[in-house]
A and B are shown apart, each in its own frame.
Chain A
Amino acid sequence: MSFTKIYFTFLTVILLAPATLLAEYPERPVKIVVYTAPGGLIDITARKVADILKKNFVKTPVIVENKKGAGGVTALSYVLRRPADGYTLFGVTNSLITKITALNQDSRLKKLTFLAKMVKDYECLITRKNSGISNLNDLINDAKQKNGAQLWAGPAAGGKDHLFALKSWKAFGIKARWIPYRSGAEALVAVMGSHADVYVGNPADTAGRENLKILAVSSSNRLPTFSDVPTFGELGFNTLTNEAIWRGFAIRADAPDSIKQSVKDLLKKVSSTKEWQEKKKKNYAVPIFETGKPLLDCILAEIKRRKAFSG
Chain B
Amino acid sequence: METILLELLQGFQVIFTPAGFGFLMLGVIAGIAFGATPGISPSTGVALLVPFSYSMPPAVAFVFFVAAYQAANYGGSITAISINAPGTPAAIVTAIDGYELTKQGKPGLALGTAVIASALGGFIGALILILLARPLAGLGLLFGPAEYFSLTLFALTTVIGFSTKNRLKTCTAILLGLLLATIGTDPFSGNLRFTLGLSGLYDGVPLIPAMIGLFALAEIFSQIESNLELKKISTFSGKLPGVNTLLKLKWAILRSSVLGTLIGIIPGAGATIASFISYGEARRFSKKKELFGRGSLEGITSSEAANSSSVGGALVPLLSLGIPGSATDAVLLGAFSLHGLTAGPELFKSSPEIVYGIFSALLAANLLILVFGLAGNALWLKLISIPQGLLYPLVIVLCITGSYTVNGTFFDSGLCLAFGVFGWLLKRNGYPLAPLVMALVLGSMLEMNLRRVLLMGGIKLLFVKPISAVLLTVALLAVALPLIRKKPYLTP
* A residues apposed to B, CB below 8 Å: 37-40, 43-44, 47, 51, 64, 66-71, 73-74, 77, 99, 102-103, 149, 151, 156-159, 177, 179-183, 185-186, 188-190, 192-196, 207-210, 279, 282-283
Contact = CB atoms under 8 A, between A and B. Distances in A.
Contacts of B408: 67
Contacts of A189: 140-141, 267, 317, 323
B65 to A, nearest CB: 11
User: On chain B, which size bracket covers the interface?
Assistant: 35 or more
Given A188-B323, A189-B323, A208 B51 contact: no
Contacts of B144: 190, 193-195
A51 B54 CA distance: 9
A47 B338 contact: yes
A38 B347 contact: no
B234 to A, nearest CB: 46
* The 5 A-B residue pairs with the shortest CB-CB distance in the complex, in nearest-first order: A39-B334, A208-B344, A195-B144, A193-B141, A70-B202
A39 to B, nearest CB: 2
A149 B461 CA distance: 14
Given A38-B334, A189-B140, A192-B141, A207 B203 contact: no
B335 interface: yes
B345 interface: yes
Contact of A179 (B54, B344, B455): B455
24 contacts: A44-B338, A47-B51, A67-B408, A69-B202, A71-B185, A73-B199, A74-B199, A74-B407, A156-B186, A156-B187, A156-B190, A157-B189, A177-B456, A179-B455, A182-B187, A189-B323, A192-B141, A192-B323, A193-B140, A207-B322, A208-B343, A208-B344, A208-B346, A210-B344
Contacts of B188: 156-157, 180
A279 B338 CA distance: 10
Contacts of A181: 448
Contact of B190 (A68, A157, A190, A210): A157
A5 B44 CA distance: 57
Contacts of B456: 151, 177, 179, 195-196
B47 A70 contact: no
Interface in B327-355: 330-335, 337-338, 340, 342-347
B321 interface: yes
A102 B190 contact: yes
A117 to B, nearest CB: 20
B452 interface: yes
Contact of A71 (B51, B202, B268, B324): B202
B189 A44 contact: no
B263 to A, nearest CB: 16
Given A73-B202, A158-B190, A44 B337 contact: yes
B450 to A, nearest CB: 13
A210 B456 CA distance: 26
A103 B202 contact: yes
Contacts of A71: 185, 202-203
B87 interface: no
Contacts of B324: 185
B147 to A, nearest CB: 9
A182 B186 CA distance: 10
A304 to B, nearest CB: 17
B398 interface: no
B337 A39 contact: yes
Contacts of A185: 323-324, 330, 333
A181 to B, nearest CB: 8
A178 to B, nearest CB: 8
Nearest to B52: A38
A159 B191 CA distance: 12
Given A157-B190, A189-B141, A38 B335 contact: yes
Contacts of A66: 47
Output the residue of A51, A71, A279 with the most chain B CB within 10 A: A71
Interface string B442-477: 000000100010011100000000000000000000
Contacts of A183: 330
A209 B407 contact: no
A210 B350 CA distance: 14
Contact of A38 (B51, B187, B448, B455): B51
Contacts of B199: 70, 73-74, 77
Contacts of A70: 199-200, 202-203
A209 B322 contact: yes
B352 to A, nearest CB: 14
Contacts of A188: 323
A279 to B, nearest CB: 7
Contacts of A67: 408
Given A38-B331, A67-B408, A71-B202, 11 more contacts: A39-B332, A69-B203, A74-B409, A156-B188, A158-B189, A179-B456, A180-B452, A182-B448, A208-B345, A209-B321, A209-B322
B136 interface: no
B47 A37 contact: yes
A37 B140 contact: no
A282 B141 CA distance: 28
A43 B338 CA distance: 9
Nearest to B448: A182
A64 B323 contact: no
B267 A47 contact: no
B270 to A, nearest CB: 12
